[in-house]
Amino acid sequence: MRATRPEGWQPPPKPQRRYLRWLIVAIMASIVVSIALVLPLRWFAPGTTAFMLRDDSGRDPLLHVWTPWEEIGSAMPLAVVAAEDQRFADHFGLDVDSIQQSLDEAERGEGLRGASTITQQLAKNLYLTPSRSFIRKALEAYLAVVIETCLPKRRILELYLNIIELGPGIYGVGAASQHFFAKSASELSDAEAALLAAVLPNPIRLKVDAPSDYVRERQQWVLGQMRRLRNEAWLTRLE
């Protein structure tokens, strides 16, 4: 049975149909490309990231050691979740409430603040730049949804812990724990993990090896949040 069309219906003019067809093709192509970029990360570690490629710290070579989830321990996962994204286990890549608050503040002329989830930060570090433009934030949000679609939560957190910058030219918890504490990631104490997480807002200005009063205050707050998350057996939610 043929579908009936409303009386007076006319097909779009040919140029408009052509543009619509190309728009659909472009959207589908972007989806395929983004999935092709993300899906292999389910099984393979990234060789580098956009942030590593543009690193201007002067450190050569960069410090980066891939550390599998089983060798990371529990302190650092709890620390970054406590510090950066306590809704990580519940959202689908975007914290809608925080995004709306950030947009409202931008409309009032207060600047565009982060409001990024761990998944968004992973997308930014892997593929984008640290700029604060709306275009970059839109791409970050889109890629975060693709990442959440293609990868399980534990893998997302494992990737994040391995590629975040924790000091000038120092990427990932494996390299950071060896550089700052001369120990493996699994041996980090809660206080050491909290100190690493405390510098995440700006690991160039905030120093793990010369912590300011602000960093120490933030470290203590992260420690309190870690204790609560551990008492709630938060990490079991990723299994």
pLDDT per position as a tens digit, 163-203: 999 999 999 999 999 999 999 999 999 999 999 999 999 99
Please report, for residues 10, 23, 88, 89, 147, the alpha-carbon distance to residue 153 in angstroms, rounded to integers and kept in the order given.
Answer: 48, 32, 8, 7, 9
In this predicted structure, the answer to whether residue 112 has a pLDDT above a threshold of 60 is: no
Q: What is the pLDDT of residue 10?
A: 63
Dump pLDDT digits (tens) for 78-109. Answer: 999 999 999 999 999 998 877 677 666 666 66
In this predicted structure, the answer to whether residue 116 has a pLDDT above a threshold of 60 is: yes
Which distant-in-sequence residues (6+ apart) come within 8 Å of 90 by Cβ? Answer: none
Q: What is the pLDDT of residue 11?
A: 64
How far is the C-alpha of 196 from the C-alpha of 190, rounded, in Å?
10
CB-CB contact of 81 with 229 (8 Å): yes
In this predicted structure, the answer to whether residue 159 has a pLDDT above a threshold of 60 is: yes
Dump pLDDT digits (tens) for 5-64. Answer: 666 666 666 677 777 888 888 888 889 999 999 999 999 999 999 999 999 999 999 999
How far is the C-alpha of 3 from the C-alpha of 147, rounded, in Å?
38
Q: What is the pLDDT of residue 19?
A: 78
User: How would you label 210-226 residue by residue, b for 16+ Cβ within 10 Å and e otherwise?
Assistant: ebeeebeebbeebbebb
Q: Which residue has the higher pLDDT, 3 or 50?
A: 50
Dump pLDDT digits (tens) for 124-155. Answer: 999 998 888 888 889 999 999 999 999 999 99
Which two structure tokens, joined as six digits, stand for 62?
A: 């960069």
Mean pLDDT of the chain: 90
Q: How many residues in total does the chain contain? A: 239
Torsion of CA 45, 173, 33, 132, to 10 degrees: -170
Q: What is the pLDDT of residue 25?
A: 83
Amino acid at 50: A
How far is the C-alpha of 84 from the C-alpha of 118, rounded, in Å?
7
In this predicted structure, the answer to whether residue 114 has a pLDDT above a threshold of 80 is: no
Residue 3's pLDDT band (cuts 50, 70, 90): low
Q: What is the pLDDT of residue 5?
A: 64
Which distant-in-sequence residues (6+ apart) come within 8 Å of 91 by Cβ? Answer: 117, 119
Q: What is the pLDDT of residue 229?
A: 96
CB-CB contact of 115 with 95 (8 Å): yes
